[in-house]
Amino acid sequence: MAAAPRAVITYCSSCGSKTERRVVARQSLSVCPSCERIFFRNPKVVVTALIEDQGRVLLVLRDIEPGRGLWGLPGGYVDWDEHPEAALARECLEETGAVVEPENLVGVQHVVLGDEGIVILAYRARLTGGELEARDEVQEIGWFTPDALPPLAFTSHRRILQGWSKQVLARGAA
């Protein structure tokens, strides 16, 4: 694994003391010498929705970086106090106007983007209402079949959609 640049925590958020670098669990981390708080580098959590209708999947054309101008699954970051399924419902509504019900987890992936680790939870979600329209951070929304997927912003989305495509094509062959 390549060494990523490490963000340095300069002051302790618990007691306000200046931190120092120490090796903890084979990592160079910021540690508070006053209260001994260790600032671990934890990944952020992202959720994505696989919303299917009649052999088509709902995708969004991103209007923000990373991946502006490319397509992806609706989704986004999980807030610190939020359950991933609640985050999925919130992100789908914010980006597409879709009211969804998460059904099941269909994939977990880990990626490194810049100096951040990201854990991606992909859920199959059922469309239950709302008016579909491009909203926050989205230029356009569209429904796509497995054989007509547009250029995708993220390798992780490509992997998720490859699994979905195989399932759809297998259903069609049955």
CATH number listed for the domain at residues 44-173: 3.90.79.10
CA distance 57 to 98: 13
CATH architecture of the domain with range 7-41: Single Sheet (2.20)
Q: Do domains 7-41 and 44-173 have the same CATH topology?
A: no
pLDDT of residue 169: 77
What's the distance, CA 137 to chain centroid?
A: 14
Structure tokens at 146: 């497995």
Residue 84 and residue 107 in contact, taking contact as beta carbons nearer than 8 Å: no
Listed by start position, the domains of the chain span 7-41, 44-173
CA distance 129 to 89: 11
CA distance 151 to 77: 22
pLDDT tens for the 174 residues of the chain, in order: 445 445 688 999 999 999 999 999 898 999 999 999 999 989 999 999 999 999 999 999 999 999 999 999 999 999 999 999 999 999 999 999 999 999 999 999 999 988 889 999 999 999 999 999 999 999 999 999 999 999 999 999 999 999 999 888 787 755
